A and B are shown apart, each in its own frame.
Chain A
Amino acid sequence: QKEVEQDPGPLSVPEGAIVSLNCTYSNSAFQYFMWYRQYSRKGPELLMYTYSSGNKEDGRFTAQVDKSSKYISLFIRDSQPSDSATYLCATFSGGGNKLTFGTGTQLKVEL
């Protein structure tokens, strides 16, 4: 079983839709969770960084962590074509320096 599982998509939504991206993880010791956005031919860009359970909001983006079910989510409100990218969830494993990524979900927001 992989430490972090993520549906690879692709996920296609119309402009203005609410997007829900999800990951599950296996180790209840994980406490820090990140979402990265990666455009084609670019490096991953940090979107959200959360600790433990709860919600964190930044503009159109909301990150949610449910430690009881080992489930993390990223919601994008009023999605735009510029949100079209691959979204990677990540957590720290094996100590504070090792990032473990999900496989990434490819999102396409269509006009």
Chain B
Amino acid sequence: DTEVTQTPKHLVMGMTNKKSLKCEQHMGHRAMYWYKQKAKKPPELMFVYSYEKLSINESVPSRFSPECPNSSLLNLHLHALQPEDSALYLCASSQERPGNQPQHFGDGTRLSIL
């Protein structure tokens, strides 16, 4: 079992639905990340939160909206997604200081857009 917990494990939604992905870690990490991974490809960074503030947005479409309610929780709100958004969405966390700390991943949410 990983120390980064993601829910739900699977999600099927229509293009007009609104849903949220959740991520939780209790390692005391102050940096949290969202990644998108397509089949047979490496993870692609979407967002980085540092001390609960958004520090990096990799030009992600506004239909993806991240939120960090506290240092242990990270959400990704989804609205009006497209079929090409079907993928594995991974959450990760790391210590913020010192820099260049390894990231620890959850098992992801497998998202299918109908």
Known pairs A49-B102, A97-B55, A97-B56; A43 contacts B2 (CB<8 A): yes
Residues of chain B lying within 8 A (CB to CB) of residue A102: 42
Inter-chain contacts of A60 with B (CB < 8 A): none
- Interface class of chain A by DSSP: loop
9-residue interface stretch from B14-22, B43-51, B64-72: B43-51
Q: Is residue A32 within 8 Å, beta carbon to beta carbon, of the partner chain?
A: yes
- In the complex formed, the residue of A with least CB distance to B90 is A43
B contact residues around A101 at 8 Å (CB): 42-43
- Smallest beta-carbon distance B95→chain A, Å: 10
Chain A interface residue count: which class?
20 to 34
Q: How far is the CA of A22 from the CA of B108 in the complex (A)?
A: 26
Residue pairs across A and B with CB atoms within 8 Å: the count is 56
Task: Report B30 CB to chain A, min CB distance, Å.
Answer: 11
Which residues in B have their C-beta under 8 angstroms from that of A95?
Answer: 99
Nearest opposing residue in chain B for A51, CB measure? B100
* Residue of B whose beta carbon sits closest to that of A103: B42
State in angstroms the CA–CA spacing of A96 and B98 once bound together: 9
Q: How far is the CB of B22 from chain A (nearest CB, A)?
A: 15
A99 within 8 Å of B (CB atoms): yes
Structural contact, A104 and B102, CB atoms closer than 8 A: no
A46 touching B42, Cβ below 8 Å: no
A34 touches B102 (CB 8 A): yes
Q: Shortest beta-carbon distance, B100 to chain A, in Å?
A: 4
CA distance A31 to B99 in the complex (A): 12
26 interchain pairs, CB-CB under 8 A: A31-B100, A32-B100, A34-B102, A36-B105, A41-B107, A41-B110, A43-B4, A43-B90, A43-B108, A44-B43, A44-B90, A45-B2, A46-B102, A46-B103, A88-B42, A95-B99, A96-B99, A96-B101, A97-B31, A97-B99, A98-B56, A99-B43, A99-B103, A101-B43, A104-B40, A104-B41
